[in-house]
């Protein structure tokens, strides 16, 4: 009896978290998934010599892995893990308690008694992070530092490491030496991720493939109009433009980097989000890609034929889905395989609720029921993310995958293969004249271009790109700066930023993703020696726009002397606690702690409470800038912040020759400025934020991800406020 072949294709991907200008990495997921899934998934394949599989690596993920290996990559959580618990500042402790429980509670926290106790002590539903800081001792924090890293080791690593096993048994009262051992071992595992894949590929068990460099939606880069194929009534971005040259760059660089990293040029490519179009296919084939993959719904619409399933989910038209196709393009034929949506989702979303043995048995029985027909044996393509699902499985899915691989090894009629291995033995004969434009989610691009927030993000990207092109054409940009600026554009083209815009998906880290996207665009202007537009400082995601501050309740009478003259001076001011502006806030040295704002009938007043004492020696380069983005762009600059007398001026947007701003810094920073000097009129909505400038660069922003907003008061403001 002819065999059924199954191609497992695991897609390994994380967004590009690093800011190239600062070198900082905001989120820890490359490191943590590297220790657990990227190493563990390959290690499990290595345990079964008969198993063949394909693993896809996004190049921008590889860049970040290599940064950790070389010691040039460090995320905030890693830096604070390395820091002795007793030396953690108040801000450090807020970050630790806000971020060191970001693991699956059911399978990663609660099975470990001490980690579970620390979660209970944290009271995760209590928004008062400062109260949690007071509850945690230095030893509590040290234990948390260890557990937040220890639980991310994959079972295949722990099973071979006696030191890690001893730490898991110890469970509590860890020492700084214990923590150092965990972090040292963590770096060793990450350093073996790429070599392990190379060894498996050289041994014939594994095939590695690539994705366009920064994971862009390639069809939308080539031509945003293709979104209309699946969504005829979609509203496209106002600034929509074709950027085929960027698409080519993302593809050619990906192939070259993969070859440099793994020692061989990839034959296959997983298009970001399985997103395909006819023009995209031509570009990747032109670059030398031999085959691609996407979802079964794309196949249905390409051949205009429905894939029918029986009551158990089995595909009735196996000869339609379970075969490779040869897509005709102007660049030559391109092979394509199409994932079984149902089987892939069983692993991704359902089997975690079954025992490992039962889930594996169900999968193998489904594969065995595929009936070969014709001369070519069937190829069942099971394609899904290689890291996200396992957080919801016991032991990171190790038991399930071991049971699955073992049963497949023993089955006489089902054989695992790499995609290229199958294509070499059974070249595709069925031709596909044209491929439908869509992605692996609902066969369209709605997630990435279907919402107002998506369109705004695309508009910002297009405007920034055109600005860069104009700067190059004007000849005012050196070669190195231009290269760095283009890198920022390519990063911003990644699909992940657009994934979180709109109401399709939710994450507690939306503010971070929103800020990272806009930061990359702002970096383009910085590299060109220009100020970025103020709209790039404002959140795109609507969930991020709600600033957590109160409003003024009455007119203020402030003496600008840098001191709190009396309790009544600021009692009616609006207030924003800058230490509570989000669990993902950057930890480390902070200057601004509290912000108060208000007004008289004619003047705006600001007060900034700071951390620590005024230093006259080491901080002489500091300045404060109050940036207004509404109702018009303007800025107040307070220079010589640590001098005896501050220099304050309207740096942008001054109106008229009347009185200007005043400022003083002693115990607090106080600033006053007439509304007339800024041109702000009664009842206009004002929006602003404050920046600390150090050595010419923005060192700190408050609020970090949003702004302070209020209305310019009318003469009867107090009467209205009292009635409300």
pLDDT of residue 613: 66
Report d(CA 380, CA 322) in Å as an integer. 5
* Mode of pairing for the β-strands spanning 634-639 and 574-577: unpaired
Measured distance CA(26)–CA(513) in Å, rounded: 9
Q: What is the per-residue pLDDT for 580?
A: 54
Contact 196, 246 (CB under 8 A): no
- What domain range is 719 assigned to? 567-723
**Rounded Cα gap, residues 139 and 117, in angstroms:** 13
Residues 706 and 634 in one domain: yes
Q: What is the C-alpha radius of gyration for the chain, rounded to an integer number of angstroms?
A: 28
Cβ(266)–Cβ(258) below 8 Å: yes
DSSP 107: I
Do residues 715 and 576 share a domain?
yes
| Residue 377 falls inside a structural domain | no
State the CATH number of the domain containing residue 657: 2.60.40.10
Q: What's the total number of domains in the chain?
A: 3
Going 200 to 202 to 205 to 211, the CA torsion angle's sign is: positive
Q: What values do phi and psi take at 439, rounded to 5?
A: -125, -175
291: three-class secondary structure by DSSP: strand
Q: Are residues 527 and 590 in the same domain?
A: no
Q: What is residue 502's DSSP assignment?
A: S
DSSP assigned state of 609: E
Q: Give yes or no: residues 678 and 718 share one domain.
A: yes
Angle between helix 244-262 and 193-202 (nearest 10): 80
DSSP structural state of residue 18 = B
Query: Which three-class secondary structure state does DSSP give residue 14?
Result: coil
Residue-level pLDDT at 615: 58
The candidate with the shortest Cα–Cα distance to 79, out of 31, 14, 143, is 31
Q: Is residue 417 part of a domain?
A: no
Distance of alpha carbon 117 from alpha carbon 453, whole angstroms? 40
Instruction: Find, among 675, 644, 641, 673, the residue nearest to 660 by Cα.
Output: 673
CATH code of residue 526:
1.20.1430
Can you give the pTM of this predicted structure?
0.82
Cα separation values, 153 from 64, 167, 258, 395, Å: 19, 12, 26, 10
The pLDDT score that the predictor gives to residue 291 is 98
Domain boundary among 542, 557, 578: 542
In this structure, the answer to whether residues 695 and 573 fall within a common structural domain is yes
Any domain includes 244: no
3-state secondary structure 78-100: HHHHHCCHHHCCHHHHHHHHHHC
- pLDDT value, residue 200: 98
Which residues does residue 337 pair with via DSSP β-bridges, in sequence order? 293
Could you give the CA distance from residue 665 to residue 643 in angstroms, rounded to a whole number? 9
643 DSSP assignment: S
- In a domain, residue 239? The reply is no
H or E, element range at 693: strand 685-694
pLDDT value of residue 720: 56
Of residues 70, 73, 92, the one with CA closest to residue 81: 92
Same-domain pairing of 509 and 581: no
653: left (phi over 0), alpha (psi -120 to 50) or beta: left
Low-confidence ranges of the chain (pLDDT < 50): 544-546, 581-588, 616-618, 722-724
Q: What is the DSSP string of 299-360?
A: HHHHHT----B-TTS-BS-HHHHSS-EEE--TT--EEEEEE-HHHHHIIIIIGGGS-HHHHH
Residue with tokens 């620390």: 118
The sign one gets for the Cα dihedral 167, 172, 177, 180 is: positive
Do residues 589 and 510 both lie within one domain? no
Residue 275 falls inside a structural domain: no
520 and 458, same domain (yes or no) = yes
Provide DSSP, 446-482: HHHHSSHHHHHHHHHHHHHHHHHHHHHHTT-S-HHHH
The last residue of one of the domains, among 192, 220, 255, is 192
Residue of 4, 17, 2, 22 whose CA lies nearest to 484: 22
In a shared domain, residues 610 and 504: no
Q: Are the C-beta atoms of 650 and 628 separated by less than 8 Å? A: no
First to last CA, the chain: 81
Same domain, 592 and 692: yes
Does 383 fall in a domain?
Answer: no
Given a contact cutoff of 8 angstroms between Cβ atoms, the answer to whether 436 and 229 are in contact is yes
- SS3 (DSSP) at 77: helix
Rounded distance, CA 148 to CA 115, Å? 8
C-alpha 503: how far from its chain's center?
A: 17
The CB density around residue 268, as the number of other CB atoms within 10 Å, is 22
Q: And the tokens for 417?
A: 């293969």
The answer to whether residue 18 sits within a structural domain is: no
Q: Is 704 left (phi over 0), alpha (psi -120 to 50) or beta?
A: alpha
Burial class for 655, CB neighbours closer than 10 Å (0-12, 13-18, 19+): middle
CA atoms within 13 Å, Cβ hemisphere of 553: 11
* Backbone φ, ψ for residue 610 (5° rounding): -115, 160
- Do residues 328 and 432 make contact, with C-beta atoms less than 8 angstroms apart? yes
Identify the residue whose tokens are 């920034």: 464
Do 538 and 579 fall into the same domain? no
Burial of 723 (0-12, 13-18, 19+ CB in 10 A): exposed
H/E stretch holding 228 reads: helix 227-230
- In this structure, what DSSP letter does residue 3 have? P
Q: What is the pLDDT of residues 563-616, one digit of tens each?
A: 888 767 898 899 988 875 443 344 446 788 889 999 999 999 999 998 776 654
Domain boundary among 479, 509, 542: 542
Contacts of 566 (CB under 8 A, 6+ apart): none
Determine the Cα–Cα distance for residues 498 and 448; give it in Å rounded to an integer: 5
Cβ-Cβ contacts under 8 Å for 187 (sequence gap 6 or more): 68, 69
Contact 689, 627 (CB under 8 A): yes
- DSSP letter, residue 154: -
Is the residue at 486 inside a domain? Answer: yes
Residues 532 and 574 in one domain: no
pLDDT at 545: 44
H helices within 528-565, ranges in order?
Answer: none
**Selection from 544, 533, 494 nearest residue 17 by Cα:** 494
């Amino acid at each position: 009896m002819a065999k059924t072949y199954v191609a497992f294709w695991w897609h390994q991907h994380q967004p590009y978290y690093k800011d190239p200008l600062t070198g900082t990495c905001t989120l820890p997921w490359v490191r943590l998934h590297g220790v657990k899934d990227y190493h563990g998934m390959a290690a499990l394949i290595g345990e079964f010599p008969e198993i063949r599989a394909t693993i896809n690596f996004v190049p921008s993920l590889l860049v970040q892995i290599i940064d950790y290996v070389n010691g040039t990559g460090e995320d905030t959580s890693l830096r604070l893990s390395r820091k002795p618990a007793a030396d953690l500042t108040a801000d450090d402790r807020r970050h630790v308690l806000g971020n060191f429980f970001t693991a699956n509670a059911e399978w990663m926290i609660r099975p470990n008694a001490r980690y579970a106790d620390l979660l209970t002590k944290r009271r995760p539903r209590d928004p008062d992070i400062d109260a949690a800081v007071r509850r945690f001792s230095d030893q509590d924090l040290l234990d948390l530092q260890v557990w937040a890293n220890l639980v991310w080791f994959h079972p295949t690593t722990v099973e071979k490491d006696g030191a890690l096993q001893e730490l898991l048994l110890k469970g509590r009262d860890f020492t700084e030496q214990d923590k150092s051992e965990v972090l040292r071992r963590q770096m060793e595992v990450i350093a073996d991720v790429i070599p392990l894949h190379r060894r498996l590929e050289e041994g014939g068990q594994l095939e590695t493939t690539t994705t366009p460099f920064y994971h862009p939606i390639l069809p939308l880069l080539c031509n945003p109009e293709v979104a209309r194929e699946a969504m005829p009534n979609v509203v496209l971005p106002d600034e929509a433009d074709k950027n085929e040259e960027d698409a080519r760059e993302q593809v050619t660089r990906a192939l070259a980097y993969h070859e440099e990293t793994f020692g061989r040029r990839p034959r296959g490519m997983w298009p970001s989000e399985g997103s395909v179009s006819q023009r995209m296919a031509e570009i990747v084939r032109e670059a030398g890609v031999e085959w691609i993959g996407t979802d079964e719904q794309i196949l249905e619409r390409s051949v205009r034929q429905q894939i029918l399933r029986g009551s158990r989910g089995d595909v009735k038209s196996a000869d339609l889905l379970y075969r490779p196709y040869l897509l005709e393009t102007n660049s030559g034929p391109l092979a394509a395989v199409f994932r079984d949506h149902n089987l892939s989702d069983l692993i991704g979303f359902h089997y975690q609720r079954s025992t490992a043995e039962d889930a594996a048995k169900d999968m193998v029985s489904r594969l065995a029921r595929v009936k070969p027909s014709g001369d070519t044996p069937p190829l069942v393509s099971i394609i899904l993310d290689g890291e996200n699902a396992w957080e919801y499985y016991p032991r990171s899915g190790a038991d399930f995958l071991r049971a699955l691989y073992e049963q497949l090894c023993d089955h006489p009629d089902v054989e695992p293969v790499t995609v290229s291995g199958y294509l070499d033995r059974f070249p595709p004969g069925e031709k596909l004249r044209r491929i439908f434009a869509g992605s692996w989610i609902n066969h369209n691009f709605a997630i990435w271009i279907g919402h107002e927030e998506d369109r705004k993000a695309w508009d910002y990207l297009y405007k920034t790109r055109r600005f860069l092109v104009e700067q190059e054409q004007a000849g005012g940009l050196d070669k190195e700066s231009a290269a760095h600026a283009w890198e920022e554009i390519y990063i911003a083209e990644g699909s992940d930023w657009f994934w979180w815009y709109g109401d399709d998906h939710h994450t507690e880290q939306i503010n971070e993703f929103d800020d990272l996207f806009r930061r990359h665009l702002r970096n383009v202007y910085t590299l060109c020696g220009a100020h970025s537009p103020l709209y790039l400082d404002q959140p795109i995601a609507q969930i991020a726009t709600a600033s957590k501050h109160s409003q003024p309740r009455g007119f203020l009478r402030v003496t600008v002397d840098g001191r709190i003259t009396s309790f009544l001076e600021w009692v009616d001011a609006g207030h924003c606690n800058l230490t509570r502006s989000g669990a993902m806030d950057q930890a480390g040295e902070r200057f601004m702690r509290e912000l108060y704002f208000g007004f008289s009938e004619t003047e705006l007043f600001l007060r900034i409470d700071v951390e620590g004492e005024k230093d006259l020696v080491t901080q002489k380069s500091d300045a404060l800038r109050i940036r207004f983005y509404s109702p018009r762009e303007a800025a107040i600059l307070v220079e010589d912040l640590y001098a005896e007398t501050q220099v304050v001026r309207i740096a942008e947007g001054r109106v008229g020759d009347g009185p200007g701003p005043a400022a003083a810094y002693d115990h607090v920073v106080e600033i006053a400025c007439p509304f007339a000097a800024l041109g702000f009129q009664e009842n206009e909505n004002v929006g602003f934020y404050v920046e600390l400038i150090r050595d010419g660069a923005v060192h700190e922003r408050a609020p970090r991800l949003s702004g302070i907003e209020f209305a310019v008061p009318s003469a009867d403001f107090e009467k209205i406020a009292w009635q409300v």
